[in-house]
Structure formats: structure tokens, C-alpha cells
Structure 1
Amino acid sequence: MKKKTFKISHKVIWLSSFFLGILTSVPKIAEHRFNLYEALVDSTVTFLFAVLIWYYNVMTLPAYSSRDVASGFSIMRLVKGLFFGILLMFILACLQQLLLSSINFGPIMLMFEVRGILVNITFYMFLNLLYQNYQNQQVGIELERTKSDNLGAQYELLKQQVNPHFLFNSLNTLKYMVESNDKHSVEFILKLSDFYRFTLESRKHDLIRLSEELDILTAYLFLLKARFEEGIDLTVAIDKRYHQSLIPPFTLQLLVENCIKHNVVSLDKPLHIKLYTEGDFIVVENKAQPKRIPETSTGIGLENINQRYSHLLNKEIVIAKGDTHFSIKLPIIHEDYHH
């Protein structure tokens, strides 16, 4: 995920450093024997030290990312900053001694180092206060964006789950089966009832067991078989050890529906769909046999699935288009990963 950088205005850095330099010259002005040159050199050294410490602390702040929010206060970063400040103040004090060679810097070197440490700690604490506030704002923004995206995704998912065309086709199929005294009519009604019961129950959850999702797919496939007969074939080859993994509800059903939407399904040209595992992915693959007049596609279905995987797992689905086959790879969600 793209990281966002925390920034401090250059104007704030330079103006605050200038003000600090002026502030350190106040004791010089109060002295009985005021020396303008000494005050200017002292202020300039403090100004340079403050500017460099500002930029060092800003550059060493960790970049914000949603997966590493609690980076906050770091003792190790503070210790490194203090060592850098002590070394920097020593170098600047030596430079000041070259400019003011008439002054004995031995006794007051400690005072410069103490001043540097105090300035360093003050800047570090102030920056971390601003940084924590920035983090809180970013978390709030991301939560609102995620909430908005999830609401939109759930709405689109619900619309697709209760597809009026699918319901219309299922009822027409049922009508034909009843009129022809088909012995599978009762089973068809039960499977249709199961499918919509699954719809009502599963839409309340972000994730369900893969075994439950396969039950939904079995009921859905039975309804499709009643309509297309041998025109559609689904092969499921998923190791049982993955049945307790998690998956967003109705993901497999939507992908199978997507296959039917974009491919020819007939007895002369049956549509073969394979469902299997490959590495750490569940793969839904179909033989590419596109319709002569393709249906209008908004891309909402695949984008809906991709959004849910992005929000829940911080991963994306993989879409592979070939000359003869089309496949979708879904990252397997293990329970210990998702907690």
C-alpha cells in the first residue's frame, strides 16, 4: 500500500530556528559588556543547529502506512538523534571557536552541548506530538473511506445476489418443470429456497467458511443445471484442508455467474468451469468461448470482489486472460491471519 509522508512547512522550520537564535542572544545583550559580533556568531550557530536538527528529525520520522500505525515514539530514534545533535553541536562549537578565538571555550563547551540536547529533545517531542496527531487524522480518513467503500460494495453485492434475471429464469424453469411433471421439481424448489436462505444469512457476514461457500455454489449449480442441463459443467478440486479457510460470501457464485454472462452456454458447446487451488490461491477457470454479441459489462462484479479482498486482506485478486482460458485467482484467507 502506498505510504504517505508527514511534512513540516519549511517556513515553520526556518522561522522557529531564527527565533531560537535570537532568543539565545538575549543573555549576551543583558551583559554589561555587550559585544555585537559575539552575539551574532552565537545566534548564527544556534540557528544553524536548530535548522539541521529540524530536518534530521523530520527525515527520520517513519512514513505513515495503514499497516504500521503504531510506530509513534521511539527511544532508539531519540538516542540516535541525541548522538547526532551532540556531534553536530561539537562541530559548530569548534567553528565558533575559530571565529571567536579570543574566548576560552573549554569551560563553556559543556553549556553548548547541554543547550543542544535540550533543543534536540524539545524538537523531537514536538514533532512526535504533531506526528501522532497526523496519524490519528489519517486513520480517521481511512476508516471513513473504508466505511463508505464497504457500504457501496455491500449494496452492489446485494443487488447481484438477488439478481432479478436469475430469479425470473429460475421461476420460468420451475414453471416448465411443474408443467412437464418433472420429478426434480420439488428438489428444485428446495434448492432455490436454500439459495435465497443462504443469501439472507450470509450477507450479514464479511467472511464465511469456504465449506459454506461451496454449499451455496452447489445449490446455485443445481438451479443452473435445471436450466442449461449438460450445457454447463463445474469441476471442484479443492483440498479439504482448505475448507475451513475463509472467503467473502457469494464470491464463487458471482464468478460462476460472470462466466455464464460472458460465454456461450449450450448443449452443443458446453461451458466447462474448474475450481481448484494453486499455491495460496483458489482459482476459478473457464474455457474462453465468448458470445458473438457480448453483453454489456460494467465491471462492477469483479471490482466488487476485488474491493472486499483489498479491505479484508490488503491483497488483490489476480485476473489472467488467455486465448483459450480465463481465470480468477482468489487469495486464500486463513483464520489465523484474519484473527
Structure 2
Amino acid sequence: MMDKNEHRICGYSSLLISLMVNSPKLLALRENGVMARYWHFNPFELLFQFTFNLIFCALLFNINLRKGKGLSSYRERRRYYSYVTFNFLAFCVLLITSTVLHRLFFPSLQLPRLIFPGALFRLSFSAILTAIIIKIILLMRNSRSMTAENQQLKNAYLASELQLLKEQMNPHFLFNSLSSLSAVVSENPKQAQKYIRDMSAVFRYALVGSHTDLVPLADELTMLRSFAKLISMRLEDAFELTINIADIYLPVKIPHLSLQPLLENAVKHNAATTERPLQVAIEAKDNQLIFSNSLWEIPTPEASNGMGLANLNERFRIMMHQEIEISRSDTYFIVKLPLKQ
């Protein structure tokens, strides 16, 4: 079936074509004109020709543009010979019908021999204009179809790319968490059981939300507080977390597990002590979530492949259509995450 826009185009086109091919008849209204010498103006005859022309165009549009039905089925199956043949037969049938009805309804015309040539001219000209418009509509359909297919391919590619990023992130998260657990066990065995319980809560959130691309900021902050408890067990007074988020931002969506890798990186790349604690602050303003941490550089830093931030930036690019902003000063490392209202 044709959509609303195509129906509208076909309707207006049929009306315009019918007016164009029948408007010369109006010249017969001038008594001294050339047309008046050969053709007596008859408003009922003009109405008949206009109406038949309108039906003719509408039928051609209908049988050629109905998807999977009518003559369009031959075109869609690339049976062009049959398609052209049946269009020609339809034209001939309508031409003969027009001539017969014209003679039947208006038997007292001055020049009956001009009925067939007149109908042939009007319907031929109408068929040519109709064919041009049909071709334009088919080109528009193909363009929409190609655009839709390209969008589907793009969505499929982004979905697979996003899934790959998630698969990269989970082992990375697991490795770092187990490394932290090893440190807690060696430094404070009594805290190990509590650490495992809190770590299970964090992993539960990570696994339950693994099939969700965007989550409310409130859920991410809840998980981050649990993750911060794990860090506090290890660093004790050498770690401080401050969250200053207005309630209006809590329902805002962000990619799942966006904050955890930032906090993870801050712990990994800083030498926090009681005298120089790792201070992490999170605030929201101007549709951005601002994550900042103090810088206490490690004398002999571990080698890093940058997977965490690169992964996070790529997920924001895919899901939010924006990239994260990273800046650094002598005392602070700052990451700004775009928020989706």
C-alpha cells in the first residue's frame, strides 16, 4: 500500500494533470477564437473529460504503486516485459472506454471524428506525466529504503561494538577487584569477609545491568558508594569521597558502569596516604557530571594501556553521541561526562 504522503502526491498530481490536459477546452468560450470555430463549448462534456482523466490518472497510480499488488508485482520481480505490456493494455482499455462513453453521453457533437484523437492526446499526455511522477515516487521509495537499511546496519554495528566494549570491561573490572581483594586479605584478614560481601553487591549490579545500556544516575551513585566502601577498607583514612548531586539530576540516564572505572583509575594511579589522602569529588552542573580526583603521583607508576578511559569514551560516543572531556592540572585530574536528559 502507498503511505499518506504518496497518496497525497498522487491525488494532487491527478488533479493537476487533469486540469492541464482539459484547460484548452476553455478556449472555446471565446466566440471569435480558433477553438470556437471547431468546438462548441459544453460544460458537461468538459466535466466528463476532466472526471475520466482524473480516474485514469488515479488508476495508473494505484496499479503501479501498490506494493506487491497490481502491476507493481511484475516490476518488483523484474518482469519488465510483462509490466510494460499490461500497462499498455490498461491504457488501450481506458482509451476505448473513454471514446465509447464520450460518444454515448454526447451523441450530438459537431465533430464526432475528433473524439478518438482528442482522447488519445489527453490520455497519452496524462500517461507520460503520470509515468514521470511514478518514477519519482519509486526513486523516493528506494532512497528511503536505502536510508533505513543503512541505519539498520549502523545500529547493528554499534550494538556489536558496544557488546564488545562490555565484554572487555567486565574482565578488566574483575581483575582489578580480585587484585584489591588480595591486598585486603593480606593487610586485614578480618575485613576480607565484609569486603567479599560488598564486592558481591557491586558485581550483582554489574551483572544485572549488563543488558541495559543506560541507567539512572541514582543507580550509578548507589553502586559507586558500595564500591567506595571497598576502597575505604583498603585505604582507610587515605581516601575521601564527596558527592554533591542535586535531586533533579538523579533520574538522568548515563551508560551503565560509567563511574566505577573512573574511581578505579583514581585509586590505581595515585599514591594516597593519611597525610595526602585521595580526594574524589562528584558534582553535576550544566548537563555534565564532573568527576575530579586529587593527584598524588606514584614514584614508579604501573604500566597502563588506557583501556578504562578509552572504553568509557567509546561507550559515551556510541550511546550519548558525545565524548567525555578529560583535563588535568598540577593538583587535579578531571573527567566531564555528558548527561542525557
TM-score (norm 2): 0.58
Alpha-carbon distance between aligned partners in 2 of 1:200 and 1:122, rounded to the nearest angstrom:
53
Q: CA deviation at 1:162?
A: 1.0
Q: 1:119 to 1:281 in 2, by over 3 A?
A: same
Q: What letter corresponds to residue 141 of structure 1 in structure 2?
A: L
Aligned-pair Cα RMSD in Å: 3.5
Alpha-carbon distance between aligned partners in 2 of 1:145 and 1:245, rounded to the nearest angstrom:
26
Alpha-carbon distance between aligned partners in 1 of 2:201 and 2:163, rounded to the nearest angstrom:
25
The 8 Å contact of residues 161 and 250 in structure 1, kept in 2 or not, is answered as no
- Partner of 1:173, secondary structure, is helix
Partner of 1:94: none
Moved over 4 A (4+): 72-79, 109-116
The 8 Å contact of residues 78 and 124 in structure 1, kept in 2 or not, is answered as no
Alpha-carbon distance between aligned partners in 2 of 1:315 and 1:303, rounded to the nearest angstrom:
13
Q: In the alignment, which of 150, 159, 180 is matched to residue 171 of structure 2?
A: 159
Partner of 1:150: 162
- Partner of 2:267, secondary structure, is helix
Q: 1:185 to 1:159 in 2, by over 3 A?
A: closer
Q: CA deviation at 1:237?
A: 0.6
Q: CA deviation at 1:224?
A: 1.0
Q: What letter corresponds to residue 173 of structure 1 in structure 2?
A: V
The 8 Å contact of residues 181 and 192 in structure 2, kept in 1 or not, is answered as no
Q: CA deviation at 1:274?
A: 0.8
Q: Deviations over 1:259-296 (max 9, x none)?
A: 22333323343221110001111111122333343433
Q: Deviations over 1:88-120 (max 9, x none)?
A: xxxxxxxxxxxxxxxxxxx9x999985874464
The 8 Å contact of residues 158 and 203 in structure 1, kept in 2 or not, is answered as no
Q: What letter corresponds to residue 161 of structure 1 in structure 2?
A: F
The answer to whether structure 1 residue 284 and structure 2 residue 291 are counterparts is yes
Q: 1:196 to 1:149 in 2, by over 3 A?
A: same
Q: Which moved more, 1:226-235 or 1:321-330?
A: 321-330
Q: CA deviation at 1:200?
A: 2.7
Q: CA deviation at 1:303?
A: 2.5
The answer to whether structure 1 residue 177 and structure 2 residue 179 are counterparts is no
Map 1:1-339 → 2, pairs under 5 A: 117-118=129-130, 120-163=132-175, 165-178=176-189, 187-334=194-341
Report how many aligned residue pairs link the two structures.
237
Q: CA deviation at 1:234?
A: 1.3
- Partner of 1:265, secondary structure, is coil
Q: 1:119 to 1:282 in 2, by over 3 A?
A: same
Alpha-carbon distance between aligned partners in 2 of 1:126 and 1:293, rounded to the nearest angstrom:
67
Q: Deviations over 1:3-47 (max 9, x none)?
A: xxxxxxxxxxxxxxxxxxxxxxxxxxxxxxxxxxxxxxxxxxxxx
Q: CA deviation at 1:77?
A: 11
Alpha-carbon distance between aligned partners in 2 of 1:257 and 1:292, rounded to the nearest angstrom:
19
The 8 Å contact of residues 216 and 254 in structure 2, kept in 1 or not, is answered as yes
The 8 Å contact of residues 181 and 195 in structure 2, kept in 1 or not, is answered as no
Q: 1:154 to 1:78 in 2, by over 3 A?
A: same
Q: What letter corresponds to residue 288 of structure 2 in structure 1?
A: F
Q: Which moved more, 1:143-152 or 1:277-286?
A: 143-152
Q: CA deviation at 1:312?
A: 2.5
The 8 Å contact of residues 174 and 188 in structure 1, kept in 2 or not, is answered as no
- Partner of 1:162, secondary structure, is helix
Q: What letter corresponds to residue 220 of structure 2 in structure 1?
A: E
Q: What letter corresponds to residue 177 of structure 1 in structure 2?
A: N
Task: Kindly indicate which of the two structures has a greater share of residues assigned to helix.
Answer: 2
The 8 Å contact of residues 183 and 234 in structure 2, kept in 1 or not, is answered as no
Alpha-carbon distance between aligned partners in 1 of 2:132 and 2:270, rounded to the nearest angstrom:
67
- Point out where structure 2 has 5 or more consecutive residues left out of the alignment: 18-117
Alpha-carbon distance between aligned partners in 1 of 2:333 and 2:7, rounded to the nearest angstrom:
51
Q: 1:330 to 1:231 in 2, by over 3 A?
A: same
Q: What letter corresponds to residue 195 of structure 2 in structure 1?
A: F
Q: CA deviation at 1:142?
A: 0.6
State the identity %.
23
Q: CA deviation at 1:236?
A: 0.7
- Point out where structure 1 has 5 or more consecutive residues left out of the alignment: 1-71, 87-106, 335-339
